[in-house]
Amino acid sequence: MKLRDVPSACPRLWRSLPVPSAELRLDLVLSSGQTFRWWESSPGAWTGVLGGRVWTLRQERDRLWYTVYEEEEEEDGDACPTGAAEPDGAEPERILRDYFQLDVGLPALYRAWGAADPLFRKVAKDFPGVRVLRQDPVECLLSFICTSNNHISRITAMIERLCCTFGRRLCHLDARPVHAFPSLSALAGADAEARLRALGFGYRAKFVSGSARAIAEGLGAEGLCRLRAVPYAEARRVLCALPGVGTKVADCVCLMALDKAEAVPVDTHVWRIAQQRYGAVLGGRSLTLRAHQEIGDFFRGLWGPRAGWAQAVLFCADLRKGQEPGSRGRARGGRGRDSRGDGPP
């Protein structure tokens, strides 16, 4: 394990767990628009914030290596990684297994999806290990509100500004300050919308602050988490009642934070895929609520109860294709794709 390229790492404090690349590819999962808090801090090493702590992750020889950084004690102090929150490392391993949903066996799902769908089989062979993250519902929701009419690099920069302005500072890594995702109360304040507009959030500012306020005064963060236990349709209905949350954003949150593996986020791009690649005549002439339902039902019928996971694989492949040299336009995030169908309500 070569650790010299990982910022501030102490080799004795690294731990690992067995994770074959067929089960997880960090480079595909952490850069494909599911989350916006990870960056490639050195070749093959990914640093980000998870569970209110700063982590660096790396894969080598079918093992997932990780270290967790202590919060700084002094205003200008540098962080030093700690191998675990508990002496035996059980808690960080539990967090990683939960976040990457490692209890879900991916190769068997790929085989089932490929057997049902020749197009999936053709595309997926070059994109193993793409799985859906299980994120904090508040962070996932407020982040995806920022994705309308947007692309991944811009969304990532927006979320970074959001965290630096409203979030608690966790540590410095190589002089880079790293902050936690803001609390609901921080984003629900009277001046939050104005401050977000000053950060370049535009019309999204009122939706981020408005949804934070609505959750804080209503469900609360705990109530949002409890949506994991209710049926998919009910969770989506509750989410769509929040400011700035349409069907696509609600489906993203259902899939990536609320355990609704059948949720298929649909934007104009996914609609075109259904029509052009699968020959499905769905949704009429515009992306209405009926169209969302019909397209989602089409893919659920094709791929089964984890249709959202299968779509994540095809989306990742499509995103990578858009990033290849010579492709037209800048890379766009499928979950935060810049498309007319995903604008403000």
pLDDT tens digits, one per residue of 146-189: 998 889 999 999 999 999 999 999 999 988 999 999 999 999 99
Residues carrying an active site annotation: 248
- Which of 21, 52, 83 is the last residue in one of the domains? 83
Give the pLDDT score at 270.
85
Long-range contacts for 7-11 (Cβ within 8 Å, ≥24 apart)? 7/41, 7/42, 7/45, 7/47, 7/56, 7/173, 7/174, 8/69, 8/78, 8/79, 8/80, 8/81, 8/173, 8/174, 9/56, 9/67, 9/81, 10/67, 10/80, 10/81
Residue 130, pLDDT > 90, answer yes
Q: What is the CATH number of the domain that holds 229?
A: 1.10.340.30
Count of structural domains within the chain? 3
Q: By residue range, what is the domain housing residue 72?
A: 11-83
Hunting for tokens 């569970």 — which residue is that? Answer: 51
- In terms of domains, do 187 and 74 share one? no
Chain segment 218-229, per-residue pLDDT in tens: 999 999 999 999
| Mean pLDDT confidence for 222-244 | 97
Is the pLDDT higher at 79 or at 107?
107
| Mean pLDDT confidence for 234-246 | 97
- In terms of domains, do 253 and 216 share one? yes
- Which of 212, 238, 259 is the last residue in one of the domains? 259
- In terms of domains, do 216 and 304 share one? no
Give the pLDDT score at 89.
64
Q: Of 201-205, 239-243, 305-309, 321-325, which gets the smallest average pLDDT? A: 321-325
Give the pLDDT score at 149.
85
- In terms of domains, do 311 and 206 share one? no
Q: Would 54 be classed as within a structural domain?
A: yes
| Mean pLDDT confidence for 124-130 | 95
Q: Would 334 be classed as within a structural domain?
A: no
- In terms of domains, do 180 and 158 share one? yes
What 3-state class would DSSP assign to 258?
coil
Q: Would 202 be classed as within a structural domain?
A: yes
- In terms of domains, do 175 and 251 share one? yes
Q: What is the CATH number of the domain that holds 114?
A: 1.10.1670.10
- In terms of domains, do 243 and 276 share one? no
pLDDT tier for residue 1 given thresholds of 50, 70 and 90: very low
Residue 45, pLDDT > 80, answer yes
Residue 79, pLDDT > 90, answer no
Q: Would 4 be classed as within a structural domain?
A: no
Chain segment 248-277, per-residue pLDDT in tens: 999 999 999 999 999 999 988 788 888 888
Q: How far apart, in Å, are the Cα atoms of 344 and each of 56, 147, 240, 304, 339?
A: 35, 10, 13, 31, 11
- In terms of domains, do 198 and 242 share one? yes
Q: What is the dihedral of CA 301, 302, 304, 309, to 10 degrees?
A: -130
- In terms of domains, do 245 and 280 share one? no
Hunting for tokens 């349709």 — which residue is that? Answer: 233
Chain segment 108-120, per-residue pLDDT in tens: 999 999 999 999 9
What is the pTM for the complete model shown? Answer: 0.88
Q: Would 129 be classed as within a structural domain?
A: no
Cα 337 from Cα 147, distance rounded (Å): 7
Q: What is the CATH number of the domain that holds 15?
A: 3.30.310.40
Q: Would 44 be classed as within a structural domain?
A: yes
Residue 85, pLDDT > 70, answer no
Angle at 34 between CA 329 and CA 168, to 5 degrees: 110
- In terms of domains, do 152 and 41 share one? no
Give me the count of residues in the chain: 345
- Which of 259, 293, 311 is the last residue in one of the domains? 259
Tell me the β-bridge partners of 171: 178
| Mean pLDDT confidence for 214-240 | 97
Cα 252 from Cα 225, distance rounded (Å): 15
Q: Would 191 be classed as within a structural domain?
A: yes
Residue 5, pLDDT > 50, answer no
pLDDT tier for residue 291 given thresholds of 50, 70 and 90: confident
- In terms of domains, do 151 and 46 share one? no
Residue 8, pLDDT > 80, answer no
- In terms of domains, do 254 and 277 share one? no
Q: Would 95 be classed as within a structural domain?
A: no
